[in-house]
Structure 1
């Protein structure tokens, strides 16, 4: 299933189920209003959301509406924590506040992309197999840094269960291509081969994880620096060209007149 959090004036947004083709959505109000509720009671609530998703995909929900990514917050705006496992195994931590997929920045930035695994409860020292069992949802995230200081973490609009990834999900690995447009110009696509279970297990070596912890498997830095007035479009897609998590669109605010004086 594919899940998103629509902006409604609250900190966490309102949970919606999104159709497989990303065209339709339906509020999950009768089941849960926030994604964290689902993560806290996954065994009971997730099957109900799956049933809702099946009905939505078959066009059987009378109150479905067109899905609008512009209305999305991050799927889990306030996670239990955010940790990124780097290529060398080092772990970088942050509080877990996620900006939405279209939230602008007000400063130049360098981006570090990660496949983000949203976990259920996970015991300390869990191995990769146990960590995969605790894997609930996946999304795409970018840490934006200025002078090596984290200024924002941005998440794609959708969090999806691994079974929704189709051919991009193979024996615990996500294999896809990262596509980017910088100021409207296509950048070289990047092949992605990430192991979210291994990333979760790496963090679980250090401590137990609570439901709602997000762990990123680093996909490396973006090969560009965004400056004032720039725009960036990022989308992780299958080999067939289907978007896995919806696109992230970032604008860097242009310099104010006072900044130019």
Structure 2
């Protein structure tokens, strides 16, 4: 099934079930008012939401309406926790090589992750508002998963059973602020503003064969100002699958239902497939040409992020955003 949130009913929106074509929706207020409320009691709520989904897809759901993406908030307008990884080692290897640094051996056996901003997510059509282009505005096209309650110390095999939803995220980064922050040795803060989520989250079973080994096996398609930018394969070159990432986060603490876990920028060894962030493209150019030629985003630029099935139909809906001056 596919789930979204309308921009109504307060900060956490109103939960709606969306059909497979992403054209029709129905409010789930009789089951759960918000997606967070559904996740809090997921094992009781999921069968009821699934029944509503089946009725909607069969054209039998009472109160169904035409879906307008502009009316959607992020599926989880705010979440208790968002942790983001860097599971695609080609990205890590290239970035470090460009600045003459070696990749520590631990990166190949222990996931690289950080605590991200979760107090508010941008909706799929909301603008990215930044005060200065000098900050180095960048997109990062990623896959994420949403968990139910995860006990502390789970194994990856156990963690797989706690992955309940899959979606996309534009993890907005301000590249010009990152070096000084990392130099302090205390991680990201100002360089990581609010991120945007895809219009809908879907249950793994909705993905069929595209979801296997706890990875999404489809290309991540990105456009900047309407021009093709990349279509890196999500299921290729992912060093750590989502079960491993969830287990890594839960090593020393339980995770609350509604925790989001990101993959990090999708990147492949094969650079002919383009990139999923500007920093990646600029690194490829630096290694190839001795300098970067692709600029970071400017005010007025637009970005689009999407994943389509084998028939070309959008699965999660697209993230489409303009870069706007504060």
Q: TM-score range by the shorter chain?
A: over 0.9
Give the Cα separation in 2 of the matches to 1:19 and 1:127: 34
Give the Cα separation in 2 of the matches to 1:121 and 1:61: 30
- Equivalent runs, 1:128-167 vs 2, <5 Å: 128-146=156-174, 147-148=177-178, 149-167=191-209
2:116 aligns with 94
Give the Cα separation in 2 of the matches to 1:91 and 1:27: 35
2:263 aligns with 217
Give the Cα separation in 2 of the matches to 1:50 and 1:105: 33
- Equivalent runs, 1:21-170 vs 2, <5 Å: 21-87=21-87, 88=107, 89-96=111-118, 97-107=120-130, 108=133, 109-146=137-174, 147-148=177-178, 149-170=191-212
Superposition deviation, residue 171 in structure 1: 3.2
- Equivalent runs, 1:173-192 vs 2, <5 Å: 173-192=215-234
SS, match of residue 245 in structure 1: coil
Superposition deviation, residue 242 in structure 1: 2.5
CA contact (8 A) 2:152 2:255 kept: yes
CA contact (8 A) 1:98 1:152 kept: yes
SS, match of residue 257 in structure 2: coil
Coordinate RMSD, CA, aligned: 1.7
| Rg comparison, structure with higher value | 2
2:273 aligns with none
Give the Cα separation in 2 of the matches to 1:249 and 1:204: 32
Relative to its length, the structure with more strand (as a share) is 1
- Equivalent runs, 1:2-13 vs 2, <5 Å: 2-8=2-8, 10-13=10-13
- Give unmatched runs, 5+ long, in structure 1: 257-261
1:259 aligns with none
Relative to its length, the structure with more helix (as a share) is 2
Give the Cα separation in 2 of the matches to 1:160 and 1:103: 21
Superposition deviation, residue 9 in structure 1: 5.3
CA contact (8 A) 2:86 2:113 kept: yes
SS, match of residue 48 in structure 2: helix
- Give unmatched runs, 5+ long, in structure 2: 88-106, 179-190, 267-275, 282-295
Task: Count matched residues.
Answer: 255
Give the Cα separation in 2 of the matches to 1:47 and 1:24: 20
The C-alpha deviation readout for 1:32-57, integer Å capped at 9, x for no partner, is: 11011111111111100000000001
Give the Cα separation in 1 of the matches to 2:23 and 2:125: 18
SS, match of residue 136 in structure 1: strand
The range that moved more, 191-200 or 119-128, is 191-200
